[in-house]
Amino acid sequence: MQAVRQDPLLGSSETFNSFLRRAQQETQQVPTEEVSLEVLLSNGQKVLVTVLTSDQTEDVLEAVAAKLDLPDDLIGYFSLFLVREKEDGAFSFVRKLQEFELPYVSVTSLRSQEYKIVLRKSYWDSAYDDDVMENRVGLNLLYAQTVSDIEHGWILVTKEQHRQLKSLQ
């Protein structure tokens, strides 16, 4: 199914994506209802949003952005990721949530409290940082993610860079 979903024509088909969403919801036998969903930021802050169990990733992402006051034009720079929290509090990334996916169903179907949804930037080109950093919320999200990535050892910095980052805090 994932290989079929990667086809550009099928992947952009609302009919096919609707089929995948319904299949996910029916497979897990989750009725459509309003629920609270916890989304984590890189700094561990929790954002609680009210969504429908049938809301797809884009809908949940927009709800989180609205709760954070992140402007609509910056939403596309961020994505939701499924992570697994280890006993020591560190996260390991499972995968990026797909557009057609139902985040509430995805995280609850795993039947374990160790799985969480995290909001992170979703681009590699640092040229986009300028756009995001022009906004206070975007800047704070990038800062929190950078600090978290350094603390986890995912970004290596010199002592001078670490000192500069602390001064920006």
Where exactly are the structural domains of the chain?
A: 1-125
- What pLDDT is stored for residue 100 in this prediction? 78
Residue 74 pLDDT exceeds 90: yes
Residue 15 pLDDT exceeds 80: no
- What pLDDT is stored for residue 29 in this prediction? 64
Q: Tokens for 161? A: 């860079």
- What pLDDT is stored for residue 112 in this prediction? 85
Pairing of β 78-85 and β 46-52: unpaired
Instruction: Indicate the pTM of the whole model.
Output: 0.81
CATH number of 1-125: 3.10.20.90
CA distance 54 to 56: 6
Residue 3 pLDDT exceeds 90: no
Higher-pLDDT residue of 160, 2 = 160
* DSSP H/E element including 45: none
- What pLDDT is stored for residue 164 in this prediction? 86
Closest CA to 119 of 59, 50, 52, 65: 65
CA distance 37 to 32: 14
DSSP code for 154:
S
What value does the mean pLDDT take over residues 9-30? 64
Average pLDDT over the chain reads 86
